[in-house]
Amino acid sequence: QKEVEQDPGPLSVPEGAIVSLNCTYSNSAFQYFMWYRQYSRKGPELLMYTYSSGNKEDGRFTAQVDKSSKYISLFIRDSQPSDSATYLCAMSAGNQGGKLIFGQGTELSVKP
Amino acid sequence: EAGVAQSPRYKIIEKRQSVAFWCNPISGHATLYWYQQILGQGPKLLIQFQNNGVVDDSQLPKDRFSAERLKGVDSTLKIQPAKLEDSAVYLCASSSDRFVAFFGQGTRLTVV
């Protein structure tokens, strides 16, 4: 079993839709949860960063962490064609020097 | 603030040849990571440096891969000899707090 599982998609939605991206994990020591966005032929770009459980909102993006269920989500409201990219979840236990474990990535396409 | 710089952006080599990648992290970032990203997968950590020292190299194929970080700043990753399965994007990232990593654009390696 992988430490971090992420549905690879691809996911295709119409412009303006609400998008839900999810990851599950098995290591209960994870405390830091991140979402990265990766455009084709580019490096991953940090979108959101959350410590422990709870919600965090930044514009059209909301990150949720449920440590009891070992489940994290990223919601994108009013999705735009420019949101078309691969979204990667990443997690760290912190006490191991910040070793980041990534999910497989979900490829999202937002159609105009 | 300048981002993580990597070179070259692209490299094509024949199997059994050697290749080296260079990374210059964000100024002041003590932690430097090298990740390997195979097409369709999430990044996999190869090696993590804290200043000059290696924190984690458990997934580095040490029979063919080597990495060094001189004076706690720039880093080079070398592959010798290369195999076909080494074809991937090699990402360098750096962090100031050991939890949130910022990535460079990556070096796309093709081994033929």
pLDDT tens by residue, B85-111: 999 999 999 988 767 889 999 999 999
Q: Residue A43: which of B42, B97, B106 has the nearest Cβ? A: B106
- Nearest CA distance, A73 vs chain B (angstrom): 17
Higher pLDDT, B18 or A29: B18
pLDDT tens by residue, A30-59: 989 999 999 999 999 999 989 888 899 999
Which pLDDT value is given to residue B70? 83
For residue A100, which residues of chain B lie inside 8 Å, CB to CB? 33, 43, 45, 101
Interface probe with B: pick from A3, A48, A89, A100, most Cβ of B within 10 Å = A100
- Nearest CA distance, A3 vs chain B (angstrom): 12
Rg (CA), chain B: 13
